[in-house]
Copies of this chain bind each other. A is one copy, B any other.
Amino acid sequence: MAKQNTVFKDAFNRCLRLVAETATLPSEPELGTALGVSRTTIRAILARMETLQLIAWNKREKRVLRQPVAADYYPAEETDSLSDIIERSFMRRILAGGAEPGMQINELELARDIGTGTTSVREFLIRFSRFGLIEKRPNSHWILKGFTREFALELTEVREMFELRSAASFTTLAADHPAWLELSRIEALHREILADIDNRYREFSELDERFHLLVHKSSSNRFIIDFYDIITIVFHYHYQWNKTNARERNALAMEEHLAYIAALKTRDLAKVEAACRRHLQSARETLLQSIQ
């Protein structure tokens, strides 16, 4: 097997949702931009839909013949890209499984475990190494440095520097900058979720990322923005793993966010800094608690 056709399968599934909504599909280029894939893939999707008798396809005409049913969709497991699969598998190993710091990581073993080729695993490890959790010994193995207390402290130290700097530049954005609108949208979402916290507290993780990324982006600094990837991945897996008191923690964090957002809106640097520090402080504590 060479390349996997996950792009096709995922786009096919998304295209089925379009089929459910209209009587005729638009042109190939239009579908391509809508689904974010090339015309080659679009034509493969259309051909498959024709085979399944979902549409009648003749040049420009793409008439919907019937509504898609569950059996038309590709199973969700088949639409994940290989690198996502490797990432998940790897993170489970090093976070959930008892992975000791200092442990050796074996490309071949990892590849066999996941059921993939070594090349993909190798490329994943290279990409992943910038997160500071593993380190390469050339011509030899990788070393797991581990999700330790030191790691968390180093991570949060830089995060705090970057976020304070970003928050400060947020206050200097022009009044008509789209970030202000997005900030208001995020604020509204906070209030919505808080109003129904018992049912919706799980939505916090995604909202948290969206908010902090917005702040980081206002730095206009690629290094600061890229660094946020590390935060994202750490917190993402951390949330999946440590669910004690999630409701309370999330509610508290959202209150802090609201105070932080309010401070940003005043454009008063001292207030922004105070609110930002307060939130980062409790975020750090949450992270540290989950480690030891």
Q: Which residues of A contact B (CB under 8 A)?
A: 7, 119, 122-123, 126-127, 130, 132, 139, 145, 151, 154-155, 157-158, 161, 165, 220-224, 226-227, 230
Contacts and interface: CB of A to CB of B under 8 A. Distances in A.
The winner among A145, A151, A222 for most chain B CB atoms within 10 A is A222
A126 B223 CA distance: 16
A223 B132 contact: yes
A154 B221 contact: yes
A174 B277 CA distance: 29
Copies held by the complex: 2
Given A7-B139, A130-B130, A223 B154 contact: yes
A154 B119 CA distance: 33
A145 B123 CA distance: 22
Contacts of A7: 139
Contact of A126 (B127, B145, B151): B127
Contacts of A226: 130, 132
Contact of A221 (B123, B130, B157, B230): B157
Nearest to A221: B154
Contacts of A145: 222
Contacts of A154: 220-223
B223 A158 contact: yes
Given A130-B130, A161-B161, A223 B155 contact: yes
Contacts of A157: 221, 223
